[in-house]
């Protein structure tokens, strides 16, 4: 593990009088899988939104490879090679499963105004973009996602989550934010996605994994960040986290 690929410093976010995230700081190194855990309402998904630019932070900074991230989600994703999935899968239901995955693979071709124009022209000449298509198919296959020609509207929740993961991985990212990717997956899906996450990390990618399923998270991650009431309560080894007082307090109360 080397220098932090992703670091958050003093993130704050409030909605009116409600404090959603309060002074959250942590980092994820290259090749590391970090689990962001905590009960409902802890602020985990908000942190993911603040990192990806879905929502602006009130204060605090997000850095990827020592570069401060700013601007829209698209800008951040492009400049920092940041990919994410959503707590509620965001897929285009009119498109096929493969086309949804392709959005991620194609995103690499839109890197500025000129490339935007050249993408359109190249689209006229070679609309199928075979190389990227093969890459998306491989990515979907590695996650055991089949029936790629089916419309996304016909997929189950578990398949939609795999589809989102495949889309994110197709972006060839350096930092991946996975927001509850295991919810609704069956055994095969969990195994496939776990393998894919490990493969990504082994290739040097920094992965932030948000999930309710503590057992899966602990078995998969290198480090755990425990959140409650918008604050970080623990940051360290998964086994230590499971045995910590903070964990008991957050999940079972003071008694």
Partner 1 sequence: MSRLARWRTPIAFAMLILVVLWVGQNGYRQDLAILMVTYGLISLGLYSHYIMGNSMSVAYNAYVAIGGYALGVLCVRTDLSMFLALPIGIVISAAVAVLLGLTTYKLSGFYLAAVTLLFGEAFAAWLVDSTGITGGASGVTLTRGLTLFGSEVTRQHLVIAALVTLFLAAWGLDRLRTSPFGIALRAKGDAPRAVESSGVSTRALTLVSLGIGAGLGAVAGWYFAAVNLSMLPESVPLSVAFVALFIPFLGGYRSPWGAVVGAVVVTELTFNLTWFQDTGTLAFAIAVLVVLIFARRGLLGLLGDVLAWAVRLIRRDGPLHKEGRDHVQPSA
* Residue environment code for 25-61, b if the CB has 16+ CB neighbours within 10 A, otherwise e: ebbbbbbbbbbbbbeeebbbbbbbbbbbbebebeebe
- Quick check: 202 binds partner 1 (CB under 8 A)? no
Which residue's CB is nearer to partner 1, number 12 or number 133? 133
- Quick check: 142 binds partner 1 (CB under 8 A)? no
* Residues 208/5, Cβ–Cβ less than 8 Å: no
Measured between alpha carbons, how far is residue 108 from residues 104, 132, 173 in Å?
A: 7, 9, 10
Q: How far is the CB of 108 from partner 1 (least distance, A)?
A: 8
Residue numbers 52-81 binding partner 1 by CB under 8 A: 52, 54, 72-75, 77-78
Which residue's CB is nearer to partner 1, number 47 or number 228? 47
- Quick check: 18 binds partner 1 (CB under 8 A)? no
Q: How far is the CB of 232 from partner 1 (least distance, A)?
A: 24
Give the C-alpha separation, 105 to 112, whole Å. Answer: 16
- Residue 168, classified by CB atoms within 10 Å of its CB into exposed (0-12), middle (13-18) or buried (19+), is buried
Residue 116: which region, alpha, beta or left (left: phi > 0; alpha: psi -120 to 50)? alpha
176, β-bridge pairs: 83, 207
Which residue's CB is nearer to partner 1, number 71 or number 236? 71
Which residue's CB is nearer to partner 1, number 163 or number 241? 163
How many residues contact partner 1, by CB under 8 A?
44
Residue numbers 232-251 binding partner 1 by CB under 8 A: none
In this structure, what DSSP letter does residue 159 have? Answer: H
Give the C-alpha separation, 188 to 196, whole Å. Answer: 12
- Quick check: 104 binds partner 1 (CB under 8 A)? yes
Which residue's CB is nearer to partner 1, number 160 or number 227? 160
- Quick check: 154 binds partner 1 (CB under 8 A)? no
- Report the interface residues with partner 1, using CB under 8 A: 52, 54, 72-75, 77-78, 83-84, 86, 90-95, 99-100, 102-104, 106-111, 113, 116, 119-120, 122-124, 126-129, 132, 164, 167-168, 171
């Amino acid at each position: 593990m080397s220098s932090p690929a992703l670091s958050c410093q003093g993130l704050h976010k409030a909605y009116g009088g409600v404090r959603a995230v309060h002074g959250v700081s942590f980092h994820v190194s290259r090749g590391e899988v970090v689990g962001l855990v905590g009960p409902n309402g802890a602020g985990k998904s908000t942190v993911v939104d603040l990192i990806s630019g879905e929502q602006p932070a009130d204060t605090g900074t997000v850095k990827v490879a020592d570069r401060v991230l700013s601007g829209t989600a698209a800008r951040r994703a492009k400049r920092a090679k940041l990919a994410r999935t959503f707590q509620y899968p965001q897929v285009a239901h009119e498109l096929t499963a493969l086309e949804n995955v392709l959005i991620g693979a194609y995103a690499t071709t839109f890197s500025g105004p000129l490339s935007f124009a050249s993408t359109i022209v190249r689209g006229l000449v070679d609309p199928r973009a075979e190389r990227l298509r093969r890459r998306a198919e491989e990515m979907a296959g590695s996650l055991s996602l089949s029936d790629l020609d089916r419309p996304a509207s016909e997929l189950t929740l578990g398949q939609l989550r795999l589809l989102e993961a495949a889309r994110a991985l197709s972006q060839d990212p350096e930092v991946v934010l996975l927001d509850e990717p295991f919810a609704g997956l069956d055994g095969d899906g969990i195994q496939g996605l776990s393998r894919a996450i490990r493969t990504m990390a082994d290739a040097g990618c920094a992965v932030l994994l948000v999930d309710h399923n503590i057992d899966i998270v602990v078995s998969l991650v290198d480090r755990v960040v425990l959140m409650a009431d918008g604050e970080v309560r623990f940051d360290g080894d998964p086994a230590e986290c499971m045995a910590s007082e903070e964990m008991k307090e957050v999940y079972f109360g003071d008694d």
